[in-house]
Chains A and B, each alone.
Chain A
């Protein structure tokens, strides 16, 4: 146990030393330069975009999931039978449904409602009486419904009934929701990669601009890791500050979006409840990205410069 604690302490100590910083070593790098503003702006802008991408991805995923859930909770029973048997089969089907555990409610869709549903395709003056329109029963499911058992029972007792649990419609929605989540993650990955690239360029530029400082430090015995740390710490700090500002602005923007029930998808681009904690990870990820990008750039440039 003590060995594990010592190992953890050994791992944490350099990280803590990095976070704490060293007043003396931090000062060896000249304080200003356009790269400071560039890093701050880049990380701020990228964090802003990342929060929006995250919100958009979550909202899209939420809408798709909701549609899918709504479809999953409802089913339709379609009865096609000769005219003289239609009423009997409908009553029988309703009786079967009402006595089946897991069926919350079953309602025959009235003719007027059916007419409305068909109107967009067949016109408002639809002569429904002259068409062999099946009877539709809307079924609302609840937990514990044995769909296979219900289908088997209906097949035996109501031969003209076809139970449609909307799985044919739900499958592409579930697939779309998964794809949208994936696209969101991909967009976040692209944003992180762009930020890493920009910070790498800024760090490379800062290192090249400070070639004389680096040569002096090497002359007096500074190791590469010492010089790199001075740059890495500064860039990580800037990226963290920029990302915090960008994240806060994006969160503020999302919070101020007008909320309207009728707005649907557009007004749903936001986080809900504990979801608001998620964007707070963006500055941390930005700092980690900046750390890794600057460290790699610094060590590479140092080997090239001296």
Chain B
């Protein structure tokens, strides 16, 4: 689904990622870990073509990313749900409309999807917050809302960047459970996190591969994880 071959990425002269090769197979569950500033977010951005690699090749859905126009990138992102670290929302729209945003921008009739959106809000435990504006939500609620928005188009892949970074342990577990449920539905999951406890908990529930960025390169994490 997403494949990176010998990818390198430079940030203003310095090399952040080097010779990265990764293949996210359908239905797989991956964790991406590493110290802060190692390049986890950058790697995720390379996966959904927010950034272009300095060298190497990124393929999305068996198509080379270099051949993607801006419109192709937009269409591809409808098949990739992204839970961003800082949960980007449109602050002037209520939560319901924010969750429905991927449907809106892809020209789908949101009113026809009303039941699905309501069920999705219920699934993430935010059915009572449908009319609330994003700034009024707590960190955990925003993360769950971001997850609901990420899956509203029923994407093939969900990429989550530090989804539990700003929330307490209990809320983190709840969010992880939701991601595991998505994986059991056949979705491919890639979570970037430095929270090793989260990874350990997940590994007891799902067959997850743990990758670590170490010294600009990607490697399989050891048995300690």
Contact = CB atoms under 8 A, between A and B. Distances in A.
Interface string A256-289: 0000000000000000000000000000000000
Interface in B109-142: 110
B162 interface: no
Interface residues of B, number: 26
A224 B70 contact: yes
A24 to B, nearest CB: 5
Given A219-B82, A220-B102, A220-B105, A31 B92 contact: yes
A58 B78 CA distance: 56
Given A213-B90, A216-B90, A223 B71 contact: yes
Interface string B56-74: 0000000000000011001
Contacts of A215: 88
B104 interface: yes
Nearest to A230: B105
B101 A28 contact: yes
A27 B105 contact: no
Nearest to B108: A24
B156 interface: no
Contact of A221 (B50, B84, B97, B105): B105
A4 to B, nearest CB: 28
Contacts of B89: 216
A26 to B, nearest CB: 10
A222 B90 contact: no
Contacts, number: 61
Interface in B85-111: 88-93, 97, 101-102, 104-107, 110
Contacts of A212: 88
B58 to A, nearest CB: 17
Contact of B105 (A30, A31, A226, A303): A226
Interface string A200-240: 00000000000011011111111111100000000000000
B149 A220 contact: yes
A30 B153 CA distance: 24
Size band of the interface chain A makes with B: 20 to 34
A216 B101 CA distance: 9
B51 to A, nearest CB: 11
Nearest to B84: A219
A167 interface: no
B77 A27 contact: no
Nearest to B87: A216
B200 interface: no
Nearest to B75: A221
A28 B104 contact: yes
A226 B105 CA distance: 7
A25 B109 CA distance: 11
Contacts of A30: 90-92
Contact of B90 (A25, A28, A223): A28
A139 to B, nearest CB: 74
A226 B102 CA distance: 12
Contacts of B153: 221
Nearest to B97: A27
B89 to A, nearest CB: 7
Contacts of A224: 70-71, 74
Nearest to B150: A220
Contacts of A222: 74, 105
Contacts of B88: 212, 215-216, 219
Interface in A169-219: 212-213, 215-219
Contacts of A28: 90, 93, 101, 104-105
B105 A217 contact: yes
Contacts of B70: 223-224, 303
Nearest to B81: A220
A226 B106 CA distance: 9
Given A218-B74, A221-B106, A27 B149 contact: no
9 contacts: A25-B105, A28-B104, A30-B92, A216-B89, A219-B82, A223-B70, A223-B71, A223-B75, A226-B107
Given A24-B104, A28-B105, 6 more contacts: A28-B101, A220-B101, A221-B75, A221-B78, A223-B71, A224-B70
